[in-house]
């Protein structure tokens, strides 16, 4: 059996036509390379190179062996690649709807760390359309997003159903109310979430009731909206999952819009298998295992 390093030495000499250049190419001294070539020739029982003042050339035996040596080296390199691919952990490609609170993902990542899981998913944020397109193209394995009636092809798994509520500063006069009338908020300035998937319905609801809010902020950043509300500078309409310290979530009378958040899968046949993925399991725990349907 020929050692792999001897093949490297032989190919380097054959390609460079020089023992000194070959030694530099494989990062050994010339005496070491010469000793290796001599050992290879003994093992094969044939002289592989002719050496003269003009340089180094392959003997007929060396030329025949060169074909085999290149094939062996290529197959060895391919074997290394295949072994590395087999051993490399498969990274979950997860899409996350931009209007899912960052705290949800943070808590799921904390679950992974607590369990000592090192295989963190590759997370991509996007809107509904972008995530659906990535799923269709196989560029995502699964997406945490809104579940709609037309998503059957993605084998949807609903994790939570939540309503849209008015988010108020914790010290707002109406913060303790069970529900508020739209007219009661007419004097408050609104922080508008431009990227909200329910924005048309919200605008229509307030317009029909003659409430024309004044805006303190128009943004695509949920964190900016929450910062403005916590500062007491405005109010906003957000899904209940954004509840947190310094905030009060209050229902708006007659506004009954809800959303379902769940998992959509690029390959429906793998939906059940993905339930055991550590990060998917962590998401289910964050939302509550009982909420999955």
Tell me how far apart the alpha carbons of residues 50 and 171 are, in angstroms, rounded to a whole number.
92
Average pLDDT, the chain: 90
| CA dihedral over 31, 36, 42, 45, signed as positive or negative | negative
pLDDT band at 291 (very low <50, low <70, confident <90, very high): very low
Would the pLDDT of 210 be above 50? yes
Residue 51: phi, psi to the nearest 5? Answer: -120, 130
Domain residue spans in the chain? 4-87, 93-160+259-291, 163-257
Q: Does domain 163-257 have CATH number 3.40.190.290?
A: yes
Fold match, 4-87 / 93-160+259-291 = no
pLDDT digits (tens, 9 = 90+) for 124-172: 999 999 999 999 999 999 999 999 999 999 999 999 999 999 999 999 9
**Which pLDDT value is given to residue 89?**
60
Average the pLDDT over 16-36 and give the result: 92
CATH architecture group of domain 4-87: Orthogonal Bundle (1.10)
Q: Per the CATH hierarchy, to which homologous superfamily does domain 93-160+259-291 belong?
A: Periplasmic binding protein-like II (3.40.190.10)
Residues 220-251 have pLDDT tens digits of: 999 999 999 999 999 999 999 999 999 999 99
Three-state DSSP state, 73: helix
Residues 115 and 278 sit within 8 Å (Cβ to Cβ): yes
What are the tokens at 251? 């229902």
Say how far apart CA 143 and CA 125 lie, in whole Å.
Answer: 9
Contact assessment for residue 33 and residue 13, using Cβ atoms and an 8 Å cutoff: yes
């Amino acid at each position: 059996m020929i050692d792999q390093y001897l093949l490297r030495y032989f190919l380097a000499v054959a390609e460079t036509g020089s023992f000194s250049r070959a030694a530099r190419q494989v990062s050994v001294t010339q005496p070491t390379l010469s000793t290796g070539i001599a050992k290879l020739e003994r093992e094969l029982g044939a002289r592989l190179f002719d050496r003269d003042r003009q340089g180094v050339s392959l003997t007929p035996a060396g030329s025949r062996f060169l074909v085999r040596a290149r094939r062996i080296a290529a197959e060895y390199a391919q074997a290394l690649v295949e072994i590395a691919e087999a051993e490399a952990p498969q990274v979950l490609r997860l899409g996350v709807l931009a209007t899912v609170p960052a705290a949800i993902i943070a808590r799921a990542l904390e679950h992974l760390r607590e369990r000592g899981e090192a295989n963190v998913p590759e997370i991509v944020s996007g809107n509904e359309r972008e995530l659906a397109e990535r799923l269709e193209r196989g560029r995502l394995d699964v997406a945490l997003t809104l579940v709609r009636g037309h998503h059957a092809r993605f084998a949807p798994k609903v994790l939570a159903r939540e309503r849209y509520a008015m988010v108020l500063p914790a010290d707002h006069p109406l913060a303790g109310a069970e529900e508020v009338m739209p007219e009661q908020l007419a004097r408050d300035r609104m922080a508008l979430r431009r990227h909200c998937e329910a924005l048309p319905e919200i605008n229509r609801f307030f317009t029909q009731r003659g409430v024309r809010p004044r805006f303190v902020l128009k943004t695509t950043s949920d964190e900016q909206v929450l910062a403005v509300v916590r500062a007491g500078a405005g109010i906003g309409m957000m899904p209940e999952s954004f509840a947190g310290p310094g905030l009060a979530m209050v229902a708006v009378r007659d506004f009954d819009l809800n959303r379902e958040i769940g998992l959509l899968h690029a390959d429906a046949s793998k939906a059940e298998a993905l339930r055991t993925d550590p990060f998917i399991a962590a998401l289910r725990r964050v939302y509550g295992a009982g909420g999955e349907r």
